[in-house]
Amino acid sequence: MLDLIRVVDLEVHAYIGVPEEERRDPQRLLVSFDLGVESFSHAAGTDNVAWTVNYADVVQHVKQIAAKRPRKLLETLAEDIANDLIKAFPIKLVRLEIKKFILHDAQYVSVRIDRNAPPSK
């Protein structure tokens, strides 16, 4: 069983949308994610961030990925974030939701994905 680090409703800005005019200005998105890590035991026992995933670093990483390039789909951004986090940090699982505030008659639209790190060799 994995231990989880959770970040809820991180505000990021991204050029995103199918129509070109929607990508003209950055849009506010909220990103929530769980990061599954092997165990907090060693980090907790040593009280040392070096033995866990530094969520401040992860947050900055997510913001950079969102701002990096324009995308048409939330699905593309979700895949980009999940894949990049798995490569950049010692995590086993990413559960990710991105909320977009584009429809006037809905609170938000969102996509959710779960991605696992490839098995260790």
Catalytic residue among 87, 92, 99, 100, which?
A: 100
The label of the residue with tokens 């809905």 reads: 106
pTM over the 0.75 mark: yes
For each successive 10 residues of the chain (121 residues), what is the average pLDDT?
A: 96 96 95 95 90 95 97 98 97 98 96 93 64
Strand pairing category for 27-37 and 3-14:
antiparallel
- Helix and strand numbers (H, E) in the chain are 3, 4
Write down all domains in the chain, each with its CATH number in brackets: 3-116 (3.30.1130.10)
Q: What is the pLDDT of residue 92?
A: 96
Q: Are 84 and 61 contacting, i.e. CB atoms less than 8 angstroms apart?
A: yes
Q: Is 121 a catalytic residue?
A: no
Q: What is the pLDDT of residue 121?
A: 64
